Amino acid sequence: MSSSVGGVTPEASTVYLISEAHAYLKAAALRAVAQLGVADHLGDEPRPVEELAEATGTNAAFLHRALRLLSTNGIFRQEDDGRFSLTPLGQGLRTDSRYSARWGVVMSTMHTHWSSAFELGHSLRTGQPSFPALFGERYFDHVAGNAEAGAEFHGGMGSFSGAARRLALDEYDFPATGTVVDVGGGTGGFLRDILLENPGLRGVLFDQAHVLPGERPRDVAAERWSEISGDFFVEVPADGDLYVLSYITHDWSDDECVRILRNCRKAMAPGARIAVFDAVVEPGNEPDDAKLLDLVMMMLVTGKERTADEFGRIFDQAGLRLSRIVPADGPLSVVEAVAV
Ligand SMILES: C[S@@+](CC[C@H](N)C(=O)[O-])C[C@H]1O[C@@H](n2cnc3c(N)ncnc32)[C@H](O)[C@@H]1O
């Protein structure tokens, strides 16, 4: 009979820890079914695994085992007769779901991310991301110079951030008129959403030349949309009334953020605001997506997820003042700053 600590025996502790270590297999199974498009073959009715295997070109017995696991965390559900269905929480895996998670799941678990996570000990020892040590270049240089990685990253990014940004968008009051500059706006999905809901705004999509889509969304009028390529460490487009930075500051160290924010500060029209859409790390021990995403930043890039105080400090150094934090019903908040 073992002694217990806080009511937990040594055996129970070990069993728990080994189970936690196996948690990566849930991500692996999720990646596999997302890649294979299994959810696209599940509609309103549960289906036998043999039909799903036939439709996805997979081995029925093995698919059964993966779906059985994913039915333990509420993504799929195995009925009493053995057929599988997609739960309401699993619906986002379908390619046709609004803000589909499918390519975001694939991007979040892509080979380079997975390998960097495997080497997280390197980051803890050196205080540096593991990605450059493994792949010989910085993460964004790799994404820029490698067509396949670029397609997987930029294709996945819209899916990765779309739903979270949507939830934050609902909470934030955009200016009624003027110009919104989406700094590092990627392929423009967020700017499109902002313009569709704020008909008095014009939009400037700013990113590196190879990332810009080169055509405006069909549902946005030509006079409301422009694209400018450049490097936000050099300058950002001038005279904006609102500078949106969505999932940007978390990619960069404090010093790098200060350079980007100073460039926004220089470019801002009088009375303009900066709206950072990023996670805010909260104190305490509750489950917090920000703390997961923070390790993604640790292993890939020089950035991190920040607390409110940490945001305040980088704004101060850039000649800005944190004016308010607008929390959303999701992993993102809007951290707003104005010129001092
Ligand atoms: C994490 S993604 C965020 C994309 C988008 N804002 C979103 O929320 O999905 C970071 C973006 O920053 C862009 N970026 C990276 N370095 C940049 C630079 N030096 N100048 C301009 N954009 C840059 C990348 O091309 C990419 O689109």
228-272 pLDDT per residue, tens: 999 999 999 999 999 999 999 999 999 999 999 999 999 999 999
Predicted local distance difference test score (pLDDT) of residue 166:
86
CB-CB contact of 33 with 62 (8 Å): no
- How many angstroms is it from 9 CA to the middle of ligand 1? 48
Ligand 1 atom index nearest CA of 233 = 19
pLDDT of 161 over the 70 cut? yes
Q: How many CB atoms lie within 10 A of CB 10?
A: 11
Is residue 105 helix, strand or coil? helix
% pLDDT > 90, the chain: 89
Whether 210 is catalytic = no
Instruction: Round to whole Å and give the CA distance between 228 and 209.
Output: 8
Residue of the nearest CA to atom 19 in ligand 1? Answer: 231
Confidence of residue 1 (pLDDT cuts 50, 70, 90): low
Cβ contacts of 162 within 8 Å, gap of 6 or more: 99, 104, 189, 190
Q: Give the H or E element holding residue 133.
A: helix 130-135
- Ranking 11-15, 152-156, 197-201 by mean pLDDT, the lowest is 152-156
Tell me what the mean pLDDT of segment 309-336 comes to. Answer: 95
Region 30-46: what's the mean pLDDT?
Answer: 97
| Widest pairwise Cα distance in the chain | 76
Query: Nearest residue CA, atom 3 of ligand 1?
Result: 247
Catalytic residue among 64, 113, 154, 250: 250
Atom of ligand 1 nearest to the CA of 211: 25
42 has a pLDDT exceeding 70 = yes
Ligand 1 atom at shortest distance from the alpha carbon of 154:
27
pLDDT at 177: 97
- Return phi, psi of residue 339, to 5°: -70, 145
Q: How far is the CA of 186 from the centre of ligand 1 (A)?
A: 6
DSSP bridge pairs for 178: 201
In this predicted structure, the answer to whether residue 45 has a pLDDT above a threshold of 80 is: yes
Task: Kindly state the average pLDDT of the residues 132-153.
Answer: 94
pLDDT at 2 over 80: no
List residues near ligand 1 (CB under 6 A).
140, 157, 161, 184-186, 190, 207-208, 211, 231-233, 246-248, 251
Q: What would the CATH number be for the domain defined by 163-339?
A: 3.40.50.150
Give the residue, by CA position, lying nearest to ligand 1 atom 20. Answer: 231
The domain spans of the chain are 10-97, 163-339
| HSE value, Cβ hemisphere, 13 Å, CA-based, for 124 | 6
Question: Which residue has tokens 């300058």?
Answer: 235
Q: Which CATH architecture has domain 10-97?
A: Orthogonal Bundle (1.10)
Q: Which atom of ligand 1 is nearest to the CA of 144?
A: 25
Pairing state between β 76-78 and 84-86 = antiparallel
| Domain 10-97 identical in fold to domain 163-339 | no
Per-residue confidence (pLDDT) for residue 168, from 0 to 100: 86
Q: What is the CA radius of gyration of the chain?
A: 22
62-121 pLDDT, tens per residue? 999 999 999 999 999 999 999 999 999 999 999 999 889 999 999 999 999 999 999 999
Residue at 271: amino acid letter? G
- Residue 62 Cα to ligand 1 midpoint, Å, equals 38
Q: In the prediction, which pLDDT does 289 show?
A: 92
Confidence of residue 155 (pLDDT cuts 50, 70, 90): confident
